[in-house]
Structure 1
Amino acid sequence: MELRRFLRDRSNIFFVFIMPLLLVLVIGSQFGGDGSQGRVVVVGESTDLRDALVTEMEDDDVAVTFADADDAREQLARGRSDVAVLVSEDDAAAFTAGDTADIEVVLGSQAGAQATFQRVRTAMQAVATERNQLSALIDAGAEESAAATALAAAAETVNPPSLEVTNVDDISEAFAGSSGFDVGAAAETLLFVFLASLAGSATLIQARRHGVMSRTLAAPVSTGMAVAGQATGRFAIAVFQGAYIMIGTAVLFGVDWGNIALSGLVLVVFSLVAAAGAMVIGSVMDSEGAAAGVGIGTGLILAALGGCMVPLEIFPDSLQRIAHVTPHAWAYEAFAEIQRRGGSLTDILPQLGVLAAMAAVLLALGAWLLRRSLTRAL
């Protein structure tokens, strides 16, 4: 019933269905996108020069897209690409003739633009080296097709030098193998699940005001059971909100949630905490508007402190210890263990245990506060 009423409320369309995915898109685009080694937009028709450059960049794990000159500059201005490479017809003709080609490269203002430019430069040098080798063989009297075949065979038989990079920085190592979308999706899931639950604490206030809770407690049920019944509606909304974000980000942005069963378990336990917290607020406040304001404010503060707005790994040690008074920090760590390190159930048991304990304490507190408020009303 609660979930049905929640979905029928048109005011929830933007905040429940659009805003979470929009924030994940913004965070993912700003902090690493799809995990590639940069984003390059290429301008120009398909020629030997353009195709050779694209092949080299894609082999280096650079994300390459194509556009005309105006669209390319707009992508740079909006931060959708790091570097634009403009290959003109004159450049392509000069390359085919064995002459020097002056390719225009435009850098964006993003933090990773310089690093991406170095990869573009490396690709250009590789293409130029291959062209020079081909020209040298042709000048020595070899047929062009035979020279190209010989160079391709040599490239397959010679093992290129390899370079192994080891992160010594703790923060870099913590985020190794994950994209900005992965980190942002987990954080926004926790943020919006908690907000959706706490903002709905007004339903318990309405139930108290209209005498629903008094009539319920007149039946042979305990206060804890009554609170649990009310919390079930908030729990259903929280799970729906979290599942929607998880499925939406996986489909639209390719977010890797790791073991989906374990990620779902973390969502369920965290939703229990959020639903129980909503019952506490609904038991102590008498105004729906005030309860919604307190719920949203509390949700935002806990999310900020728990690593949902700035990654928990960036916090100093003292602030990380303080952050663990929030359920968000424990759920954030559980998601990180599953997504980035392929954690098992055993690895996240401490986080699940703490979250379950928080849910139990909040539910018991909500039952006591509800009984107290109803007794005072009588």
Structure 2
Amino acid sequence: MRPRVISALVVANLSRQARDRVGLFFMVVMPFVTIMFVGLAMGGAGSEKIPVAVVAQDSDPTAAAVLRELAASPDLEVRRTDSAEEVRADVRRGRVAAGLVITPGSTEFDLVLSQTSGSGMAARSEIDVAVGEVSAVQEAIRAAITAGATPAQAEEYVRAAQAESADVAVRGTGGGDGEPTGFAYTAPANLLLFTFINSMAVAAALVESRRIGMIRRTLAAPVRESTVLFGEALSRLLVAAAQSLLIIVVSALVFGVRWGDPLGVTLVVALFCLVATGAAMLVGALVANPSQAPAIGPPLGIVLGMLGGCLWPKEVAGEPLTTIGYLFPHSWAMDALLALTRPGAGIGTVWVEAAVLAGMAAVALAVAVAVFRRRALRTA
């Protein structure tokens, strides 16, 4: 390969991209507008406690036990409310993420939340844990009484068992429980969404290079096809990497997003950029007109973003669509980036996701290179 030819191709491509004001707006401004508004709708900064409204009577032992468990959660801010109507109004107006109505003497509680709220889904997870803890204790006490213990002895046995199991920790290995909310969720989601969409959109520049004869003139010189391929691919990769780096830096400085282990984040983002580069090269080789690439790429990127949890939490989409989403890179990259935000997570936490992304990147680039060589280089 000839470094001068590669650098000339990269400079020409990036210079043409820098003159595209509409493209620059969608790369520099639009991601942060989306992060801000969607992040605020999902509860703002992910490090803040999630507000939850509760209607309960302190005289009810079950209600008191649930309240203690909720208050012990480091992720919830429990707000006492007087009526179920007030709870529903607070959830509807966005004052709280979720509400819990505990009817005295009843074993069924009313949970109020918006299915489209990421913070509401996170609150539900914490509420389920609290109610499950209380239910398990009550079942254990009833079992001890059935076995012949007095109520006082049964409670003592259960307290002793809880004390013995207090040091046992459960470590999650997948998405779902304890996922970030607010900006901590929308920043990685929009990194994947806009990196892929803008990579697909800049495929138009590749089509333009073919149209104006830049690739043909390059091949007329003593330049190998592999050099042209590498130069064009590197141009798309640099655009994707610049988009990702910009979102990471600005979201950390402006929105206080904590991305987690730098090595793990770098690996996941780099692999996703390679996937986006392969997709951009493939689109650039297949379409015949520069206006076709922006018409195909962004809609495809939005659909894949929907399936991958980039527009809303996967719980909202449901299990069938979530399962389909794992056929594409967005779901794997989203799971990896969210996992890396958890305390103690490192590159070893996301090795499965990284391996899948590496495989997808290899396939995307191999197909793109084959199609580009046949349709763009041989016919240039």
Q: TM-score range with shorter-chain normalisation?
A: 0.5 to 0.7
* Residue among 7, 13, 25 paired with 1:14: 25
Q: Which amino acid aligns with 2:49?
A: S
1:300 and 2:311 equivalent?
no
Where 1:29 maps in the other structure, the secondary structure is helix
**How many residue pairs get matched?**
275
Q: Aligned residue for 1:290?
A: 292
Q: How far apart are the structure 2 equivalents of 1:337 and 1:14?
A: 30
Q: Distance in 2 between matches of 1:321 and 1:224?
A: 37
Which residue of structure 2 aligns with residue 27 of structure 1?
38
Q: Distance in 2 between matches of 1:62 and 1:166?
A: 11
Q: CA deviation at 1:224?
A: 4.8
- Give the drift of 1:376: 6.7
Cα 1:224–1:299 change in 2 (3 A) is farther
CA contact (8 A) 1:285 1:291 kept: yes
Cα deviation 1:56-88 (Å, max 9, x = unaligned): xxxx9999xxxxxxxxxxxxxxxxxx9xxxxxx
Partner of 2:166: none
Residue 213 of structure 1 and its aligned partner are, at CA, apart by: 2.5
Q: 1:96 maps to what in 2?
A: none
For 2:21, what is the secondary structure of its paired residue? coil
Residue 374 (structure 1) shift = 4.3
Q: Does the CA contact (< 8 Å) of 2:179 and 2:338 recur in 1?
A: no
Q: TM-score, normalised by structure 2?
A: 0.62
Of the three residues 49, 55, 72, the one matched with 1:36 is 49
For residues 130-159 of structure 1, the C-alpha deviation after alignment (integer angstroms, 9 at most, x for no partner) is xxxxxxxxxxxxxxxxxxxxxxxxxxxxxx
Q: Which residue matches 1:369?
A: 371
Does the aligned pair in 2 maintain the 1:227–1:279 contact within 8 Å? no
Q: 1:218 to 1:371 in 2, by over 3 A?
A: farther
Checking the alignment, whether the CA contact within 8 Å between 1:193 and 1:241 is kept in structure 2 is yes
Q: Deviations over 1:101-136 (max 9, x none)?
A: xxxxx96952344869x9xxxxxxxxxxxxxxxxxx
What is the correspondence of 1:156-305 to structure 2 with a 5 Å cutoff? 166=130, 174-176=176-178, 178-217=180-219, 223-305=225-307
Report deviation, 1:282.
0.6
Q: Closer, same or farther in 2 for the Cα pair 1:365/1:216, shift >3 Å?
A: farther
The gaps in structure 1 that reach 5 residues or longer are: 40-59, 64-81, 83-105, 119-162
Q: Which amino acid aligns with 1:28?
A: G
**C-alpha distance in 2 between matches for 1:371 and 1:329:** 30
Change (3 A) 1:28 1:168: farther
Once residues 278 and 42 of structure 2 are traced to their aligned partners in structure 1, the CA distance between those partners, rounded to angstroms, is 33
Matched position secondary structure for 2:341: helix
Deviation sequence 1:184-203 (CA, Å, 0-9, x none): 11111100000111001112
Match of 1:43 in 2: none
The structure-2 alpha-carbon separation of the partners of 1:167 and 1:265, relative to structure 1 and needing over 3 Å to count, comes to: farther
Q: Please report how far the alpha carbon of residue 31 of structure 1 lies from its aligned counterpart in structure 2 after TM superposition.
A: 1.3
Percentage identity across paired residues of the two chains: 33
Residue aligned with 1:288, SS: coil
Residue 174 of structure 1, CA deviation = 2.7
Aligned in 2, Cα 1:167/1:189: closer, same or farther, shift over 3 Å?
Answer: farther
Structure 1 counterpart of 2:336, from 334, 337, 346:
334
Equivalent-residue separation in structure 2 for 1:217 and 1:211 (angstroms): 10
Change (3 A) 1:215 1:344: same
Which structure has the larger Rg over C-alpha atoms? 1
Partner of 1:346: 348
The 1-side partners of 2:184 and 2:290 are apart by 35
Of the three residues 323, 326, 347, the one matched with 1:324 is 326
- 1:260-314 deviation line (CA, Å, top 9, x unaligned): 2321221111111101110001111110001121111211111112211122244
Tell me, in whole angstroms, the C-alpha distance in 1 between the residues paired with 2:283 and 2:375: 12
Q: 1-side partners of 2:208 and 2:338: how far apart? A: 38
Q: 2: CA distance between counterparts of 1:29 and 1:167? A: 28
Q: Which sections of structure 2, spanning at least 5 residues, go unmatched?
A: 1-10, 53-73, 80-88, 102-126, 134-171
SS at match of 2:327: coil
CA distance in 2, matches of 1:326, 1:175: 22
Give the TM-score normalised by structure 1: 0.63
The answer (yes or no) to whether the contact 1:205–1:287 under 8 Å persists in 2 is yes
Quote the RMSD (CA, aligned, Å): 3.7
Report the Cα distance in structure 2 between the residues aligned to 1:293 and 1:302, rounded to whole angstroms.
15
Alignment of 1:102-121 (within 5 A): 109-113=92-96
> Does the C-alpha gap of structure 1 residues 115 and 332 become closer, same or farther in structure 2, counting only changes over 3 Å?
closer
Q: Secondary structure at the match of 1:174?
A: coil
Say which SS state the counterpart of residue 371 (structure 1) adopts. Answer: helix
